[in-house]
Amino acid sequence: MIKLFITGLLLTGLYGLAMGQREIPAAEKTPVFLPDKAYSLGINSQFAIDGFLDPETLTPIEFLLRRGLPGDRSLRLRASGWVENTNKIEGEENLKIQQSRFAIALGHEWHHHINNKLGYYFGADLEKGWDIHNTSRNYSDFSETYGDLKVRRYDFNTTQSLGLVPLVGFTYSPLSYLILSYEIRMKIFYYRTKFRSDSYTSQVINPDECCGHSIGGYDAEAWIFDFQPYSGIFINLKF
């Protein structure tokens, strides 16, 4: 709800700025975005906003490289990712979690002027993603047959995704070398998940004696549609 409020406030501000600006004749207009063969590098500020609103939220750090093309167009290369390793010890239980997420996307944009500082664009990305969530858990158990036991369990969860990301964005250039861009994205993704689990059980009095070993897992596929009215504000520098 807070993000939607921020989104509405931002769109209202951009519309107000656009209405308050004098319409500039075509002969006086300068490129709001990238000239041909120019570059910009941006970082998505969403990870900072999410961390401010909820310190426990993990948002990938996302970079966006653009290259200007003739006709107010640009190519875009977007990359994002994060890695987290945690180790929780509660009594005799030890839980280790390894999580990571990486994505890379290649796309194309068409830009349009509103006035000398404001503009909007639309385009699409083709995105490939990898999500990995592995856990290892050591804990104690008891069996009437074997007595006190030590259990080691390993879970491996890997998801790959491939999808199309249509997008619409707005740009504001307060300085000649600085551009702020805000995007609305729609994601149409195909996900493929592989889950594997291994569990080993041994006696406490005889750790080398294995009295249980199980292997399991499954594969799953799904199509996901996700509309993101707030996907962050990119701070872009031209060069």
Write the pLDDT tens digit of every residue in 4-42: 444 444 445 444 544 444 444 544 445 568 889 999 999
163 pLDDT tier (thresholds 50, 70, 90): very high
pTM of the model: 0.77
Task: Give the whole-angstrom CA distance, residue 226 versus residue 188.
Answer: 7
pLDDT for 176 equals 86
Crossing angle of helices 2-20 and 46-53, in 10° steps, is: 130
Question: If you average pLDDT over residues 102-108, what whole number do you get?
Answer: 97
pLDDT for 116 equals 84
Q: Is the dihedral of CA 46, 49, 51, 57 positive or negative?
A: negative
Mean pLDDT across the chain: 83
What does DSSP assign to residue 95?
E
- In the block, residue with structure tokens 């939220």: 57
* Residue 216 in tokens: 């399991």
pLDDT for 180 equals 94
Question: If you average pLDDT over residues 169-188, what whole number do you get?
Answer: 93
pLDDT for 21 equals 45
Query: What does residue 26 show for φ and ψ, rounded to 5 degrees?
Result: -60, -35
With a cut of 60, say whether residue 213 has pLDDT above it. Answer: yes
44 pLDDT tier (thresholds 50, 70, 90): very high
With a cut of 80, say whether residue 160 has pLDDT above it. Answer: yes
Task: Give the whole-angstrom CA distance, residue 218 versus residue 184.
Answer: 34
pLDDT for 88 equals 82
- In the block, residue with structure tokens 């592989």: 194
Question: If you average pLDDT over residues 59-63, what whole number do you get?
Answer: 87
Question: If you average pLDDT over residues 147-155, what whole number do you get?
Answer: 84
Task: Give the whole-angstrom CA distance, residue 44 versus residue 229.
Answer: 15
Three-state SS letters, 7-57: HHHHHHHHHHHHHHCCCCCHHHCCCCCCCCCCEEEEEECHHHHHHHHCCCC
